Amino acid sequence: MTFICCDQRAYAQQTAGVGSFRVAGYLPDYRFSSLNFDAIKGLTDLIIFSAEPGPDGSLNTSRLKACPWESLLRFKTEHRIRLILTIGGWERSEHFAKVAKSPKDRKAFVDAVVAFALARRLDGIDIDWEHPKDVSEEQAYAALLTDLKDAFKPHGLLLTVTIAAWQHLPAGGVAAVDGVQVMAYDHDKEHSTFDGAIKDVRTLLDAGIPAKKIILGLPFYGRDIKTRDAETYGAIAARHHPEPTVDQVGNVYFNGISTITRKVKHAVQTRLGGVMIWEIGQDATGENSLLKAVLKSISGQSN
């Protein structure tokens, strides 16, 4: 097992950018084989998706067998990017409730997470429990996040959480995390409008989450407003060549360059903690790239 030394820990803290504007992009396990490193330059955080909690507090990393760890570490060093691992996600959260409610299982889980993060030279962990069902599970979530943060402190590891805007995160959970990523997409009909994103952020602010901790989620995909079928922005751009101001072709609603730009500028101007992208493999290439639009929107803005 490889542990982070003092110099590595200082590097993680230096590049962590807490208080600076984060640009985080997800790399799902089904994108490992097609990862284009040139297409992710400019991200501050690459979020590897995902591991899962086991029923006994173990960490199930079976989906990560094909992860190109060595290449990611080289890229991290060369481009000063943070590597974050998500634990959980949709249909990957089955055992969170049992683990979070049991002090024994919770400790086993925290120990397993710390060991894996240090062995893989990660800079942080993102917890994505979809979703606690009641108050008791919400309180257990806060306890789990608190235990994780306490264990992370000696190693300089970041801790973020990903939630839907309607999801309640107790004050203890908010206090424990460095960032709250809001999934401001997958709403009904036009699934991720500018006004909808602002409403999601307002919901979190009204719940007492500081603006500097809020990371606004951006979709790099569209959804059919009737069937809810999803399509990557890259596929939409290649087939329809939409103008930058266009957000819908046929029944498929997506975020074009103008809407992404508007969202990012709003996030910067209102001093949010950053933006999060689901997911980097869905982007278009060249001048149609939404990531390029994100980075261009940040440059020249006052943080």
Give the per-residue pLDDT at 149: 98
What confidence score (pLDDT) does residue 299 get?
Answer: 84
Question: CA neighbours within 13 Å on the CB side: how many for 108?
Answer: 17
Token reading at 213: 């901790």
Please tell me the distance from the alpha carbon of residue 182 to that of residue 302, in angstroms, as a whole number. Answer: 22
Q: What does the alpha-carbon distance between residue 259 and residue 250 come to, in Å, rounded to a whole number?
A: 18
Taking 50 as the pLDDT cut, the residues of the chain under it are: 1-19, 302-303
- Every domain of the chain and the residues it spans: 6-298
Cα–Cα–Cα angle for 129, 131, 132, rounded to 5 degrees: 100
Superfamily name and number for 6-298: Glycosidases (3.20.20.80)
In Å, how far are 4, 66, 96, 116 from 77, measured between CA atoms?
A: 14, 21, 33, 19
Helix 135-152 × helix 103-119 angle, to 10°: 40
Contact 120, 157 (CB under 8 A): no
Report d(CA 65, CA 58) in Å as an integer.
Answer: 16
CA distances from 297 to 15, 122, 287 (A): 21, 28, 14
